[in-house]
């Protein structure tokens, strides 16, 4: 089945409701300011996936972070998931994956532009840039 949409959003925090699994994204960003004395940074990615109706098969998903020169900086473990059809079994399926990133900034050098890439079934599904800069 074809994946009709995949979107990555970067934020400072994520709140997930206990009933209904709705998520609230706190302080969404595409630029992350890093103080000169900061040793590490923490942020989340939220990946929203939608499928065509009837996709009941297992899939894998993974989010990775690369430098603009394609050097792998960080990676979530690959996970297996199924699209959910709780609201409308005949409608499109959906899945949401939240990934926490904790990075030591000393090893990243001068900082700059990074790419967050989502893979579904080991194929690139979405790319979102993140600029990290010192202040």
Query: CATH no. for residue 82?
Result: 2.60.40.10
d(CA 97, CA 119): 12
Per-residue model confidence (pLDDT) at position 130: 97
Instruction: Please report, in tens digits, the pLDDT of each residue of the chain (135 residues total).
Output: 455 799 999 999 999 888 777 889 999 999 999 998 999 999 999 999 999 888 889 999 999 999 977 899 999 999 999 998 877 888 888 999 999 999 998 888 889 999 999 999 999 999 999 999 998
Per-residue model confidence (pLDDT) at position 7: 96
* Rg of the chain, C-alpha, whole Å: 16
d(CA 125, CA 65): 14
Per-residue model confidence (pLDDT) at position 2: 55
Question: What is the total count of domains within the chain?
Answer: 1
Question: What domain range includes position 119?
Answer: 5-134
d(CA 61, CA 106): 29
Model pTM?
0.88
């Amino acid at each position: 089945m074809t994946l009709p949409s995949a979107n990555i959003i970067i934020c400072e925090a994520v709140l997930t409701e206990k009933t209904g699994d709705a998520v609230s994204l706190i302080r969404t960003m595409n630029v992350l300011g890093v103080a000169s004395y900061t040793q590490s940074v923490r942020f989340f990615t939220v990946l929203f996936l939608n499928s065509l109706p009837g996709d009941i098969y297992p899939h894998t998903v993974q989010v990775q972070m690369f430098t603009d020169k394609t050097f792998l900086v960080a990676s979530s473990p690959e996970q297996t998931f199924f699209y959910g059809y709780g609201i409308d079994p005949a409608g499109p399926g959906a899945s949401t994956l939240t990934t926490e990133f904790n990075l030591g900034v000393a090893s990243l050098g001068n900082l700059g532009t990074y790419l967050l890439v989502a893979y579904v079934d080991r194929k690139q599904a979405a790319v979102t840039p993140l600029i990290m800069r010192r202040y």
